[in-house]
Amino acid sequence: MPQPWTPDHELHAFARTESRPGPPEEDGGQWMERRQTGQALIVCECGYTSGLIDRATVRETMAELAAEHPPALGADSETPYGPRAAVAAWLLVNGVNPDDVPLEGPISVDGQHIRYAALLRNEAGRHYRDERTGRSAREERVTPLTVEPPANVQVKATR
């Protein structure tokens, strides 16, 4: 189940505009006419970007995204696995980018490996939405366990 939206990730809506040449000016130059279209784009500061949506549904869409778009690890609050800072530090020393691990996991230790859900990035390096599920795109990944989790990081061991 997704965690509640946290203030360290903000959603912003941008109205889509189009530019086209306007009539020639007296000096022979042209100016660009900008007008808003009926579409908008929603962007999260963590890199998530929605597709173009109808501007009439921006508020409703932002509320849905706030409920389902998981913030990544990083701020000073709790996760199901312990303090976010401790979980992030442990993942980092094991070669996992904590910004790519959703707050709700899953994260587990399986023998000498860490299994975790990873938020996927597009070519621009931003997290993106899976069109089939409507949630942040993710996949299960496995990495070698090089450093055991500290006492305050509780991951399910499946040894």
Domain borders along the chain are 11-68, 78-157
Q: Detail the DSSP E strand segments found in the chain.
A: 11-24, 30-44, 53-54, 78-79, 82-83, 107-110, 113-119, 138-144, 156-157
* Residue type at position 104: E
Q: pTM for the whole thing?
A: 0.53
Residues 122/128, Cβ–Cβ less than 8 Å: yes
3-class SS string, 16-61: EEEEEEEEECCCCCEEEEEEEEEEEEEEECCCCECCCEEHHHHHHH
Phi, psi of 102, deg, nearest 5:
-65, 150
Residue 136, SS3 per DSSP: strand
Return per-residue pLDDT of the chain as tens, 159 residues. Answer: 333 334 344 555 555 555 555 555 555 554 545 455 566 666 655 555 566 667 667 666 666 665 555 555 445 578 888 888 788 888 888 888 888 888 788 899 988 999 999 999 888 888 888 888 888 889 999 999 888 888 888 887 655
